[in-house]
Structure formats: C-alpha cells, structure tokens
C-alpha cells in the first residue's frame, strides 16, 4: 500500500492550510482510494481537532528548539554567518514512499527578502534516499532580490521530482529559470473542499461586503500595524459611504503570533471604528474553520481578501472576490479565475476611487453561470 507524507505547514489554525490538507486528501484519495496519507504536525492536539472527518493519519513532528545545531545557528546569526541544516525529524520518513511539500508560500522570499533552507534540504535528503519529493499546490519565487536564494532554489527545484504549481505565474517564472521538465499546472487543492456550500442565486446589489485583512500582509506595506489600522479604518468608512452596506470582518488565520493573527488584528480594526459605523460591522469571533466560515461568506455579496485561501474559499461558493495583494501569487490566481488582473489591488492602493469602482464591477459578475461552464 502506497504511503504519502504531507509536510511543510505550521498547523491548520491557518484555514488555508486546513484547506490544503483536506483538499489534498480528497484529490489523492480520488486518484487512489487505498493510499495511506500521513501529515507531519507540530501541533498535534490542535490539528487533530481541526481535521475531524479528514481521512488522514497525523504524525507528531515536534522537535526541540534547544538542539546543539539550533543553538549554534542562533549564535552564528549574531555575527551574520549563515548556518543551515535540516530541522525536520528524518525518522518520520520510515515507510514513506512519497513526500508532498504542501506549504504554498515556502518557496518564496519573506517581507525582508529572507528565506529558509530547512524544508528544501529535507526534500534533497528524501531524493537521495530514493523517496519522491514533490512541491504541491505551490507558488514559487521570485528570488531575484536575494542572489543566494536564487542560486540555492534553482538547484533545488531542478532536482525536485515534480512541481505542481497552482497558477500560471509560477509556471512562467520557473520557465525563465530553465525549470520546465518537472513542472505541471494544477488547481489549488482548496478548490476541492466542501464544494456543496455555495450561492445558488446571483447577486442583486451590494448589501454586505466581507473583508479579510491580515497583519502579515499589512506589514508588507505599512511601517507599523498602527499605521495600517488607521488607514484601513478610513477605508472602511469609504466603503460604507459609497455602498451604504454592512460589513463582515472575516479572519482566516487564528495564530499565537500577533503578526499573523487575523482575529486580533480585525478586532483592533473593529474597535477603532466610530460607534455609528461599528453598528454596521460584524466581526466573526467563533473560529469556525475553513468549512464553517463558508457559511458566513455566502451571506456576502462581495469579498475583499488579503489571504489567498480566503479568496479561494469565496470563489468556490460563487461569491465575487477582490484580491488585496501583497505578492504576485494574487495576480496568478486572479488570472486563473477571471482571466485578467482587474480585480487585484495592492494594499497601499485601496483608498483610490478606482478601487471602489472595481468593487461595483466585480459585484455584477455572475459567477454561478461562469463556474458552470
């Protein structure tokens, strides 16, 4: 019996990661019902609760931060010396035939143009041991802002067994790096989760807008989260004034880290609103997970999403989306859905009149008929 290991995410507290796991299981089981699928988790208790009903075996992949190698790495970082090694526990590979890296954003630079070698090195180790190593539903690059990253990833990606890219932007970028033979365009696995929850009637005007913002994306554009909150507060005022609508604030990541936690960020935004606007705004605070939050999304006429998988979650329900972009992956996904990037806006451009006009335009799209074609 074939055994597959999913690895590369920090936990399914991120609804997008939950969707990737659930969608990947659905896709792999459809292809081979007898396959055994394992998921390497560093948050076993929490992940087990959030993945109820998912046909998967969870492996405890927790590792200590206080290993000798980690201590050496940290000390060397103080004098700007890079020391990289495999931080994943190699023992989790026992009996595994194939590994899927399911972290959609691992193969990109962060906001400071830094990157991690740990999982790619783990992938190289798999290949040396004769275990297939695939990138699954991923976005890749660009790496040009960091020469070391560009050199490292070009070599690593050419050696990967398969790269299943979730948008054409990644395929085109890999082609520029002369990485072609092992690349395939696929649909993001989140498109295969709870597809029965959807709108059955087209929109008739804008009565409610769902907004997903994240501190992670805001830090790409603003000097501080305080600055971001002030600007986005004015933005919500402009939305309510233009459309005379209600707002639902939709978290898609519930994290221990303040810089990655949508709920605490959106709660700050909510509390910053004046009382008259606050009365028209609802904050989802029940932590419903990827599937549960669909029930809130379908109540909205338009979704504005900073998180990629919040946008996908909406599109699958036939709810029109404006992408609030902080990376090129939004352009690729918008092109996949709409055939253009008209409904992609960077976060520092949301106060423009053009943005509000585009919201009205996207609200008039009939996604129900579009998705049936």
**pLDDT at site 373:** 45
**pLDDT at site 223:** 83
> Residues 246, 278: contact at Cβ < 8 Å?
no
CA distances from 215 to 10, 254, 296, 329 (A): 17, 11, 21, 18
Q: What is the dihedral of CA 58, 60, 65, 66, to 10 degrees?
A: -170
Q: Say if 3-192 and 208-371 have the same CATH topology.
A: yes
**pLDDT at site 372:** 47
Q: Has domain 208-371 been given CATH number 3.40.50.2000?
A: yes
**pLDDT at site 62:** 76
- CATH class assigned to 3-192: alpha beta
Sign of CA dihedral 106, 108, 111, 116: positive
Domain coordinates of the chain in residue numbers?
Answer: 3-192, 208-371
> Whole-model pTM?
0.87
Residues of the chain scoring pLDDT < 70: 63-87, 104, 202-203, 327-328, 367-373
**pLDDT at site 267:** 97
**pLDDT at site 88:** 76
**pLDDT at site 72:** 55
């Amino acid at each position: 019996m074939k055994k597959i290991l999913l690895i590369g995410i920090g936990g399914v507290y991120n609804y997008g990661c939950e969707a990737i796991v659930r969608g990947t299981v659905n896709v792999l089981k459809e292809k081979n019902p007898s396959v055994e699928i394992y998921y390497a988790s560093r948050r076993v208790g929490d992940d087990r609760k959030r993945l109820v009903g998912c046909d998967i075996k969870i492996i405890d992949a927790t590792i200590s931060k206080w290993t000798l190698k980690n201590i050496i790495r940290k000390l060397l970082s103080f004098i700007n010396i890079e020391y990289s090694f495999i931080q994943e526990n190699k023992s989790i590979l026992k009996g595994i035939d194939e590994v899927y890296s399911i972290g959609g954003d691992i193969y990109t630079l962060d906001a400071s143009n830094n990157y991690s070698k740990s999982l790619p090195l783990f992938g190289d180790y798999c290949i040396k041991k004769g275990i297939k190593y695939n990138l699954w539903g991923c976005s890749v690059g660009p790496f040009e802002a960091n020469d070391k990253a560009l050199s490292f990833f070009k070599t690593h990606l050419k050696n990967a067994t398969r790269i299943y890219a979730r948008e054409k932007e990644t395929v085109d970028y890999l082609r520029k790096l002369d990485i072609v033979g092992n690349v395939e365009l696929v649909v993001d696995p989140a498109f295969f989760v709870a597809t029965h929850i959807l709108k059955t009637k087209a929109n008739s005007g804008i009565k409610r807008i769902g907004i997903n913002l994240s501190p992670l994306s805001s830090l790409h554009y603003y000097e501080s989260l305080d600055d971001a909150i002030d600007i986005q507060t004015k933005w919500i005022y402009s939305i309510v004034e233009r459309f005379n609508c209600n707002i639902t604030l939709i978290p898609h990541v519930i994290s221990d880290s303040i810089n990655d936690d949508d709920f605490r960020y959106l709660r700050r935004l909510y509390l910053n609103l004046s009382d008259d606007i606050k009365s028209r705004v609802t904050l989802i605070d029940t932590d419903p997970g990827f599937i549960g939050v669909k029930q809130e999304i379908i109540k909205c006429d338009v979704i504005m999403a900073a998180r990629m998988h919040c946008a996908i979650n909406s599109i699958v329900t036939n709810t029109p989306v404006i992408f609030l972009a902080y990376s090129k992956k939004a352009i690729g996904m918008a092109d996949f859905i709409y055939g253009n990037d008209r409904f992609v806006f960077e976060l520092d451009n949301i106060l423009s009149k053009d943005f509000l006009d585009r919201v009205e335009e996207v609200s008039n799209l009939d996604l129900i008929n579009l998705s049936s074609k």
